[in-house]
Amino acid sequence: MSWPSGPPPMPPPGWYDDPEQQWTWRWWDGTRWSHHRAPMWVAPHRDPRSFSTFFENSVAAVKAAVRRVGVLLVVVWLALGALAWLAMVAVFGSDRGRELRDLLRSGSFGTDGAADALTDDEVDRVWELIRQLVVEAIPWLIALGVLLVVVAAWSVALVASAPDHAVGHAFRRVPTVVASGLVVFSLVVVVWVTAALPVAIVALAGGGSVAIVSTAVFGVLLASVLSFWLWGRLALASVIAATGGHGLGVRRSWELTRSGFWYVVGRLIVTGLIAGVTSGLANSVNGFGQFFGLVVYLALACFLQAIAAVAATIVTVCGHLAIVDQLEGAGSSPVTADA
């Protein structure tokens, strides 16, 4: 076996890893190291589960959702508000409604001893008219309640839908989103009913007031803690159901939050606070409508409520999607994919 003669060839001149300093380039002149050094640029590592990543993904998702479906959502919620406005006008524009308004204008309802206070007979008539108007409004309230649930579920599905065919997908997901919400709500109701059972047992057993109150306080505290725990574990079910692929999303939400309860709760609280502030800002100018009369006030309230509902929905859904993405390690959601 023959060995090559002479020393191995030197590397050509260029920038190489500095053997004396980490993360530094050093110039090799072809024969020896020079004193010329340059910092080695390294892409910063960001934890995909960090709060900053969650916040940036949420903001990007909100911008994309507003750009893509914001106007459509406002129009739909305005239509729902217009129906509610027409229902109120129909109820308070009836003969009973006009009579009630005339009575309330003629005196200060409930101010005993004032010169312009209503008489006892007028007060009785006011309460009678209110009861009659409430009975008349029940069909409207039921219809509006059903529409509100459907529109809310459709809005969640629309924001969470993929960019392609989002409207059609959102309509198809409405029953699933509604069913998901009903399951979560039913679980919370079961918790509170179960917590109330000891109070009923103590009362039926003839326990004293101290025992009943103590049991009630304990039951309320226990139900509150359990409800908070269920909220942290199942709050993501609706957006998971809206995106599809996991049924009602209840089991998937339970699995994702199994080992990161406080991690999820912290982000849920931040999302809820931002949604509440955004919605509150939209409603903050609602009081100015009272200076323009009933019709203008109701119209302004309808518009602002639509803006507030859309803002709260978009912020909440995008925040929840960002949480799901971090828990799954997906890195992007159907909303942020086109951001």
Residue 330: pLDDT band with limits 50, 70, 90: very low
First to last CA, the chain: 64
What does the alpha-carbon distance between residue 309 and residue 151 come to, in Å, rounded to a whole number? Answer: 11
Predicted pLDDT of residue 155: 93
Give just the sign of the alpha carbon dihedral 233, 238, 239, 245: positive
Q: In what order do the strands lie in the sheet with 33-39?
A: 14-17, 24-28, 33-39
**pLDDT of 337 higher than 60:** no
Predicted pLDDT of residue 338: 39
Residue 111: pLDDT band with limits 50, 70, 90: very low
Mean pLDDT calculated for residue range 159-167: 70
264-291: pLDDT as tens digits: 999 999 999 998 887 777 666 655 555 5
> How confident is the prediction for the chain on average, in pLDDT?
81
SS (H, E, C) 45-95: CCCCCCHHHHHHHHHHHHHHHHHHHHHHHHHHHHHHHHHHHHHHHHHHCCH
Predicted pLDDT of residue 170: 86
Residue 7: pLDDT band with limits 50, 70, 90: low
Mean pLDDT calculated for residue range 93-109: 68
234-255: pLDDT as tens digits: 999 999 999 888 889 999 999 9
Q: Which segments of the chain are extended strands (E)? A: 14-17, 24-28, 33-39
Q: Are 28 and 34 in contact (CB under 8 A)?
A: yes
Predicted pLDDT of residue 335: 44
Predicted pLDDT of residue 339: 36
**pLDDT of 113 higher than 60:** no
141-159: pLDDT as tens digits: 888 889 999 999 999 999 9
**pLDDT of 227 higher than 80:** yes
Residue 123: pLDDT band with limits 50, 70, 90: confident
Predicted pLDDT of residue 178: 95
What does the alpha-carbon distance between residue 117 and residue 123 come to, in Å, rounded to a whole number? Answer: 9
Predicted pLDDT of residue 43: 55
CA distances from 311 to 74, 155, 168, 276 (A): 9, 11, 22, 9
Which amino acid, one-letter code, is at 295? V
Determine which helix (DSSP H) or strand (DSSP E) holds 261, and give its type and residue range: helix 261-283
**Percent with pLDDT over 90 in the chain:** 30
